[in-house]
Amino acid sequence: MPQIVHVPEHRLWVLTGVESSYVLHLGRDELLRSLHWGPRLDPEQAASLLEFPPPRHRSCEDPYDGTYDLSAAGGLRYGHAGLQVRFADGTRDLELAFVSSRISQYDAGAELTLEFAELHYPLAVEARYRLHRGSDAIERRLVLRHLGAPDARGIAAEPITLVRAESATWVLPRLEDYRLSQVRGQWNAETQLHRTVLPYGETLLASRRGVTSHQANPWAMIDDGTATEESGSVYGCALAWSGSWQLTAERMPADVVTLSAGYGHTPILRRLGPGERLETPVSVGLYTEGGFGAASRAWHDYVRAHVLAHPDELRPVLYNSWEATEFDYTVKRQQALADRAAALGVELFVMDDGWFGARTHDAAGLGDWTPNPDRFPHGLGPLIEHVHGLGMKFGLWVEPEMVNPDSDLYRAHPDWVIHQPHRRRTENRNQLVLNLARADVADWMHGAMERLLAGNAIDFLKWDMNRPFSEAGPIDADGCDYRPGDDRLWFDYIHNLYAVLDRLRADHPHVRIESCASGGGRLDLAIAARTDQVWASDNTDAADRRHIQHGFSQLYPAQLMGAWVTDSPNPFTGRAVPLDYRFHVAMAGLLGLGGDLDRWSEAELSRAAEMVAAYKAVRPLIQLGTQHRLRGPEHELSAVQYTARDGSQTAVLAYLRARRFGRADPELPLRALDPAARYLDAATGRVHHGAVLLSRGLPLELPAGDYASTLIHLRRVE
């Protein structure tokens, strides 16, 4: 059971999870410091940290700078300030006084609330920390309240401008060195893992695009530079937010390091009026031992236990017809593809872009969410019935946040798009972003999706978002809803998106949703809480995918990661990769098929059916088990292992990029097995000793040629 203990005589709070503790101390100056983040300490041990010598005097600055958990701007503190305000009279510094602390226990954990009040101005600040049972992940958020009441003459108090209101500032302990792990990317090349020595100064990871982004993902990990996949301490944090965000890793010249994460980006301002309250999204902090592998497994467990709505549900094998047909639609062709998919063992047929309005190409129709009358003269019903008749579920692509200027929706509501009155409206993929921050737009969007779901037997939505914000400004061009100095469009847009998704999910509990934003542009903990899987990338080239999936897996579990087998040569890279390799790569997540099945030979179709069946046999291990990245994609031979939580089965996916004459296929040492047990490979009849698999390894017999791969499924026999 997680524990949060208050030691009032020392002004200490000790938050203890399964294997770690986080210790907070309130100084005599009323400033909240982080005293410890690492292995477990009991309250008495934590209190002994107060006997340690204070940091050395540093002239011209606060020697504790960089150790504040509540990092409010002010005084001689020049490190990154997660909380920055402007009061109406221009005052910028915050002076907070401690008011109270509250610890509440609930079934699944405990929560600590530390409340502070501004000494002069009407602002209350709460720092909240939540620890769930069975986890070391700490969920931290801020709650800000403007306490101002009208004065004696009835004149309203002035609003407070929030420059930054970050969810958390995670203070790292003193390490020999500091190395930052992050993912960088672009469209078609998301989540590329990058590790680098953390430079001095502030390193900013961010999205200014209004969406989580392909370019960066809202998490970071820090180690001392020596951690490996298997060993070492790793400190990580992530932000649960799907709009613009900022994550600052600061290494101060005195070698003190913090990770601060929050929504919005500089300079986006919020205005807090009298009586108003603002609650930031959650930032999650997680300390682990056991290297990057253990860190990822702890994040996966956190996501499965506390983020996903249906963590125990197996995701179906899907077929998506996008790459096969693009905008070239007929019901007959979709039905024919559905027939082929069903014969392969596919469980969910998804019809992608091109079914609605005048959407016969990508320059028209977005916004008009009714079936194209020429293509679907009798609506979607006949196709859905056909798909259901084949025993598959039916899924549909939507992009509800967007509009093409060439659409009935835009012609009726040209003022509904994000824009600034005297700026051009930059189109991207011929489309504009609907201003979902407006209540009327959010209502319309909910209504359009509700009609689709209520009027059709849809089981699954692929919810796409294909362009970032530009020329984003007021909520309403006429100014009626716009408060100067309040950029709340960036925030209200996302809150309204969440509200629409939450409402649709509550009203249609059987519908599952895939998050997509031109591939993996909207992957984060908050969207993962409202959808069931994420399309990791439009890039379906299996060789590139190994890298994308490796980066994806650092924080997010395989259960969230959509992956398709498509045609070869790949339409994006032109690379030819054998069918087995394409399958084995896609099997490492949620297997889907996305190729033009009409062009696959009989031999390919029959192999595909075997592969789908093989995936289903190991699916519970991949989707619900634990993951060990045995060798990363930077190696000629790379591999991932998935093990059932009860240890009864394990599955290994191994990939050899290029053959070298004379070099034998290596043996692959496995993880997470019982050395005393024996494991049967039913495909070969061979029985392996756990001790041998763990030490010498699993002998691989890979097929000839480049891009050789295998799936080995072992069951414990004793």
Q: Which is nearer to ligand GLA, 34 or 540 (CB)?
A: 540
Q: Which residues of 542-566 are buried (b: 16+ CB within 10 A; e: fewer)?
A: bbbbbbbbbbbbbbbbbbbbbbbbb
User: What radius of gyration, in Å, describes the C-alpha atoms of the chain?
Assistant: 27
Q: Which is nearer to ligand GLA, 459 or 464 (CB)?
A: 464
**170 CB-contact burial (10 Å; exposed 0-12 / middle 13-18 / buried 19+):** buried
> Using CB under 6 A, which of the segments 220-228, 285-293, 416-424, 512-520 binds ligand GLA?
512-520
Strand segments (E) across 78-223: 83-86, 96-106, 109-118, 123-132, 138-146, 160-165, 168-171, 179-184, 192-197, 201-207, 219-223
Smallest separation (angstroms) from ligand GLA to the CB of 300: 24
Smallest separation (angstroms) from ligand GLA to the CB of 516: 5
Residue 218 interacts with ligand GLA (CB under 6 A)?
A: no
Angle between helices 381-389 and 331-344 (to 10 degrees): 20
Residue 139 interacts with ligand GLA (CB under 6 A)?
A: no
Smallest separation (angstroms) from ligand GLA to the CB of 493: 20
Q: Which is nearer to ligand GLA, 233 or 540 (CB)?
A: 540
Distances (CA, A) of 674 to 46, 628, 649, 653: 36, 15, 11, 19
Contact 365, 406 (CB under 8 A): yes
Smallest separation (angstroms) from ligand GLA to the CB of 701: 36
Distance CA 50, CA 689 (A): 51
What residues are annotated to the active site? 464, 538
> Using CB under 6 A, which of the segments 112-120, 453-461, 516-524, 566-574 binds ligand GLA?
516-524
Q: How far is CA 58 from the centre of its chain?
A: 39
Residue 62 interacts with ligand GLA (CB under 6 A)?
A: no
Q: Which is nearer to ligand GLA, 120 or 429 (CB)?
A: 429
CA proximity to 599, closest of 625, 569, 619: 569
Binding mask 518-557 for ligand GLA (x = CB under 6 A): xx---------------x--x-------------------
Distances (CA, A) of 559 to 216, 309, 543, 591: 21, 12, 20, 10
Binding mask 405-444 for ligand GLA (x = CB under 6 A): ----------------------------------------
Smallest separation (angstroms) from ligand GLA to the CB of 322: 5
358-363 long-range CB contacts below 8 Å, 24 or more apart?
358/406, 358/407, 359/327, 360/327, 360/329, 361/327, 362/327, 362/429, 362/430, 362/431, 363/404, 363/406, 363/430
Q: Which residues, 195 to 214, sit near ligand GLA by CB under 6 A?
A: none
How big is the site for ligand GLA, counted in residues (CB under 6 A)? 11
Smallest separation (angstroms) from ligand GLA to the CB of 594: 8
Q: Which is nearer to ligand GLA, 260 or 539 (CB)?
A: 539
Residue 466 interacts with ligand GLA (CB under 6 A)?
A: yes
The CA-to-CA distance between both ends of the chain, in Å, stands at 33
Three-state DSSP class for residue 296: helix
Smallest separation (angstroms) from ligand GLA to the CB of 353: 3
CA proximity to 640, closest of 498, 520, 536, 545: 545
> Using CB under 6 A, which of the segments 56-64, 515-523, 595-603, 699-707 binds ligand GLA?
515-523
Q: Which is nearer to ligand GLA, 330 or 606 (CB)?
A: 330
What contacts 243, CB < 8 A, 6 or more positions away?
207, 210, 211, 212, 263, 264, 490, 491, 493, 494
CA proximity to 634, closest of 176, 193, 182: 193
Question: Quick one: which of 190, 250, 352, 492 contacts ligand GLA (CB under 6 A)?
Answer: 352
Residue type, 488: R
Contact 78, 60 (CB under 8 A): no
> Using CB under 6 A, which of the segments 210-218, 413-421, 514-522, 545-553 binds ligand GLA?
514-522
Q: Which is nearer to ligand GLA, 496 or 515 (CB)?
A: 515
Smallest separation (angstroms) from ligand GLA to the CB of 538: 5
Q: Which is nearer to ligand GLA, 229 or 353 (CB)?
A: 353
CA proximity to 302, closest of 288, 289, 313, 316: 288
Smallest separation (angstroms) from ligand GLA to the CB of 541: 14
Question: Quick one: which of 118, 126, 459, 464 contacts ligand GLA (CB under 6 A)?
Answer: 464
Distance CA 163, CA 85 (A): 5
Q: List, in sequence order, every residue forming a beta bridge with 406; answer none if it has no partner.
A: 364
Residue 516 interacts with ligand GLA (CB under 6 A)?
A: yes
Residue 322 interacts with ligand GLA (CB under 6 A)?
A: yes
Q: List, in sequence order, every residue forming a beta bridge with 534; answer none if it has no partner.
A: 515, 561
Smallest separation (angstroms) from ligand GLA to the CB of 316: 18
Helix spans in 307-393 (H): 322-325, 331-344, 381-389
Q: Which is nearer to ligand GLA, 229 or 464 (CB)?
A: 464
Strand segments (E) across 12-95: 12-16, 20-26, 32-39, 83-86
Q: Which is nearer to ligand GLA, 518 or 710 (CB)?
A: 518
Residue 291 interacts with ligand GLA (CB under 6 A)?
A: no
Q: Which residues, 368 to 397, sit near ligand GLA by CB under 6 A?
A: 397
Token match 């992608």: residue?
352
Q: Which is nearer to ligand GLA, 79 or 594 (CB)?
A: 594
* CA 540, 546, 547, 553 torsion-angle sign: positive
CA proximity to 468, closest of 547, 522, 543: 522
Residue type, 306: H
Closest residue to bound ligand GLA by CB: 353
Smallest separation (angstroms) from ligand GLA to the CB of 699: 39
Give contact residues for ligand GLA (rule: CB under 6 A): 322, 352-353, 397, 464, 466, 516, 518-519, 535, 538
